[in-house]
Amino acid sequence: MISDLTYKMVAYSIIEDFNPDECVDWAVEMLQAGYDTPVVGIIASMDKPVNYFEIIDYLEKALLELGISKKNGKKALFSYCIFYIIKIAKKQEVKKNLRDLVGIISGSDLMERLMDFCLLSWAWSEVDKLYNHYWSGATPENIKRIVISTARKWLEENKRKYEIKPLLS
């Protein structure tokens, strides 16, 4: 199994606030997963904070070494969204990751494919009111479970269509 951060690494070129230190985290996770290559080892051994331009050069070499394609444009944006959907499905900072996901897709042409996540985010902001019109049946007690369940269902239904896990050839 590859690191979840791989979905973010292949999309780094479109991420405005890309944190180059995450490349080190990614490399460590990849080593732990058994992907022990020379360049991945170099990245994993780097001390944070790293130099953006130096680490990106190594990241591109590591991706090439692993046979993982760097994404551009719409494919990169979609890969970045998948990163957040996986985090939600794994129950990791669900509300924050949902908010970050919606921030990425808002105003993009991905909204239609990922509209449920927008609706759930909006519903979550209104579940404490008497009635929320974004997601029927959502309450303060169950909204988190609904979001996690929706993420898991989306990943399961789309894993073949969007080649979700593994990204390796």
Of 10, 140, 145, 142, nearest in space to 69 by CA: 10
**Span 1-5, mean pLDDT?**
90
User: How many domains does the structure of the chain reveal?
Assistant: 2
Please give the residue range of the domain that contains residue 57.
6-66
Give the residue from 17, 39, 66 where a domain finishes.
66
- pTM, entire model: 0.91
pLDDT digits (tens, 9 = 90+) for 49-95: 999 999 999 999 999 999 999 999 999 999 999 999 999 999 999 99
What's the confidence (pLDDT) of residue 163?
63
Instruction: Name the one residue in this structure whose structure tokens are 């996986």.
Output: 86
- Verify that 57 and 91 share a domain, yes or no: no
pLDDT digits (tens, 9 = 90+) for 86-133: 999 999 999 999 999 999 999 888 988 999 999 999 999 998 877 778
- Verify that 41 and 81 share a domain, yes or no: no
- Verify that 59 and 88 share a domain, yes or no: no
Tell me how crowded residue 69 is: count the other CB atoms within 10 A of its CB: 13
> Taking a C-beta distance cutoff of 8 angstroms, is the pair 114, 105 a contact?
yes
- Verify that 35 and 87 share a domain, yes or no: no
